[in-house]
């Protein structure tokens, strides 16, 4: 009877542990050949399929073109108010167009909207020539940004996404690029949610149909060629959580919307991103040995965010692990340990812990007496 009761107790405890864990379904099946879903703050991957597969990105390339242009404006090399003389080379560009005219001058701000909203190849070309004199020079510049971002499966040979065997990227790289664009240039990113743009008396709509279907979606970019299939990068915010979904190689315009929306709906339903601690938040008071002050406040060096199933946040545990006993002198902002976060006995993340203030050391005799007290304290702690 006793063994039966012990077995039932173990079973009930096992059930309790399991019931406290979050079980969520697998990501939905999509028609896209390659896809990835990430959180925009933490970069946490929530779903993926062949994310590093090298594929043709088509007009999604223009996200990088936009990033380079936005950065060149920030650095002061060009201005949104610049008037760009349109070359015959750009006027002749095929595919989607803004309908600029050779020999005319167009504002950089209008060209950006023509590239982002109307997906104009002519606008992308004109921006590239204005930034780097030629599209070839702009491609060299793009390569530097690709290297700086650590995009390992990306190589661009033009600013538009025009098909070329040596023009490629991957779902993961595109997600990283999109995350950087949203973080680094929020004002520029605002353009990606504009539904229409009129230029030269021609009104064109944004090709991202999700902007009409879901108010939480505010970007990013579509792409399509016969060889690339139908591609879409989208981003949106629900419950203070921003996600980025990249779907590449869908079979139709309708299917890419279905694929992308299913991915976003899955992420928003089962995951949240929350800040659990802010930079310079007070963590605890800790004793200082041999110092002019008996204790100092310990601070977190950085903000800490997690992307998790909602109910998991209540089970996160944290603890401060010191590098050793705090002995003066201590400088303000000095690293003194780490703050470790765990969930279900699994370490999630560690961040540095720093001192809140400077603490000078006592004189020779005070320091000596403090060392004796610390020695005794360490001995007693070891005995325990």
> Which CATH number does the domain housing residue 368 bear?
2.60.410.10
Domain count, the chain: 2
On whether the CB atoms of residues 323 and 340 are closer than 8 A, the answer is no
Separation between Cα atoms, residue 351 and residue 340, nearest integer Å: 7
Half-sphere exposure of 314 (CA within 13 A, CB side): 5
Separation between Cα atoms, residue 125 and residue 83, nearest integer Å: 14
What one-character-per-residue DSSP string does 237-276 give? EETTEEEEEEEEEESSHHHHHHHHHHHHHHHHHH-EEEEE
With 0.85 as the threshold, say if the pTM is over it: yes
On whether the CB atoms of residues 263 and 233 are closer than 8 A, the answer is no
Query: Within this chain, do residues 231 and 375 fall inside the same structural domain, yes or no?
Result: no
User: Residue 70 has which token pair?
Assistant: 């936005």
Query: Within this chain, do residues 209 and 318 fall inside the same structural domain, yes or no?
Result: no
3 state DSSP class of 331: coil
Question: Could you tell me which residues are beta bridge partners of residue 199?
Answer: 202
Query: Within this chain, do residues 357 and 285 fall inside the same structural domain, yes or no?
Result: yes
Query: Within this chain, do residues 191 and 64 fall inside the same structural domain, yes or no?
Result: yes
Query: Within this chain, do residues 147 and 69 fall inside the same structural domain, yes or no?
Result: yes
CB atoms under 10 Å from CB of 306, counted, come to 21
CA distances from 337 to 75, 98, 154, 382 (A): 38, 56, 38, 20
Catalytic residues: 59, 62, 119
Query: Within this chain, do residues 266 and 216 fall inside the same structural domain, yes or no?
Result: yes
Domain hosting 347: range is: 276-383
Answer yes or no: is 4 within a domain.
no
Spell out the per-residue pLDDT of the chain, length 384, in tens. 445 445 444 444 444 444 455 578 899 999 999 999 999 999 999 999 999 999 999 999 999 999 999 999 999 999 999 999 999 999 999 999 999 999 999 999 999 999 999 999 999 999 999 999 999 999 999 999 999 999 999 999 999 999 999 999 999 999 999 999 999 999 999 999 999 999 999 999 999 999 999 999 999 999 999 999 999 999 999 999 999 999 999 999 999 999 999 999 999 999 999 999 999 999 999 999 888 888 999 999 999 999 999 899 999 999 999 998 888 899 999 999 999 999 999 999 999 999 999 998 875 445 554 555 554 555 555 555
């Amino acid at each position: 009877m006793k063994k039966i009761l012990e077995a039932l107790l173990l079973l009930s405890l096992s059930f309790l542990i399991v019931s406290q864990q979050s079980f969520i379904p697998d990501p939905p099946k999509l028609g896209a050949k390659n896809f990835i879903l990430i959180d925009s703050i933490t970069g946490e991957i929530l779903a993926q399929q062949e994310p590093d597969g090298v594929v043709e990105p088509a007009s999604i390339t223009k996200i990088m073109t936009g990033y380079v242009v936005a950065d060149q404006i920030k650095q002061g090399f060009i201005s949104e108010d610049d008037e760009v003389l349109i070359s015959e080379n750009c006027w002749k560009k095929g595919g989607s167009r803004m309908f600029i005219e050779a020999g005319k001058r167009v504002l950089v701000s209008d060209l950006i909207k023509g590239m982002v909203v109307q997906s104009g190849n002519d606008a992308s070309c004109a921006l590239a020539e204005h930034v780097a004199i030629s599209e070839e020079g702009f491609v060299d510049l793009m390569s530097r940004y690709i290297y700086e971002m650590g995009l390992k499966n990306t190589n661009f040979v033009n600013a538009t996404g025009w098909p070329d065997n040596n023009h490629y990227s991957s779902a993961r790289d595109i997600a990283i690029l999109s995350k950087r664009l949203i973080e680094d240039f929020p004002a520029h990113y605002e353009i990606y949610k504009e539904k229409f743009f009129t230029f030269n008396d021609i009104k064109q709509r944004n090709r991202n149909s999700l902007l009409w279907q879901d108010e939480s979606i505010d970007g990013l970019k579509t792409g399509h060629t016969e060889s690339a299939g139908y591609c879409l990068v989208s981003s949106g915010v629900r419950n203070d959580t921003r996600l980025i979904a990249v779907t590449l190689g869908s079979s139709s315009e309708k299917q890419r919307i279905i694929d992308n929306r299913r991915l976003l709906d899955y992420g928003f339903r089962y995951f949240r991103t929350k800040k659990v601690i802010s930079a310079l938040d007070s963590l605890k008071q800790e004793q200082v040995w041999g110092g002019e002050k008996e204790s100092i406040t310990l601070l977190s060096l950085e903000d800490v965010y997690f992307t998790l199933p909602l109910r998991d946040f209540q089970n996160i545990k944290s603890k401060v692990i010191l590098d050793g006993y705090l002995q003066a002198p201590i400088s303000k902002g000095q690293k003194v340990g780490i703050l470790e976060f765990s969930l279900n006995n699994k370490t999630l993340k560690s961040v540095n812990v720093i001192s809140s203030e400077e603490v000078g050391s006592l004189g020779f005799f005070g320091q000596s007496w403090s060392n004796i007290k610390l020695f005794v304290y360490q001995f007693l702690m070891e005995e325990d």
